Amino acid sequence: MLLTRSIKDPRLNGVISITRVVSSNDLRSARAYVSVMGNDQTKQEALAGIRSAASFLRRELRDRINMKHTPFLTYELDDSMEEADQLVRLMNHIRPKDQGPDISDPTNSPVSSG
């Protein structure tokens, strides 16, 4: 909600999701991975907008979470959604070379009548 409602940056006008956060063992720092819908330019602009708002986001988090130390956040693009989509599309186009006959088709039944 902070990204979409509290930051008034035109670079953050698309669909942006935080996909995961990996924190250090002492919880003083964390890396937030963000997914941005759009082309590479849109993604880079959104990342720049988030990074420019990092201190504001940290202050807001400090006021909203109850922790001894508010983690210092860094932001990285997460392309795992696009990579997964590309993998599924590739898998849908691959057919095994030795694919047998379609057994749901009665004309291809291995049992002969007669």
Locate the domains of the chain by residue range.
2-93
Take residue 18 and report the two structure tokens written for it.
């935080």
Take residue 8 and report the two structure tokens written for it.
């008034």
Q: Which of 1-10, 26-35, 68-77 has the lowest mean pLDDT?
A: 1-10
Query: What tens digit of pLDDT does each residue of 7-59 get?
Result: 888 888 878 889 999 999 998 999 999 998 888 899 999 999 999 999 999 98
CB neighbour list of residue 68: distance below 8 Å, 6 or more residues apart = none
Provide the 10 A C-beta neighbour count for residue 81. 13
Q: Is the Cβ–Cβ distance between 70 and 58 less than 8 Å? A: yes
Which residues are bridge partners to 75 per DSSP? 32
CATH architecture of 2-93: 2-Layer Sandwich (3.30)
Q: What is the pTM of this model?
A: 0.68
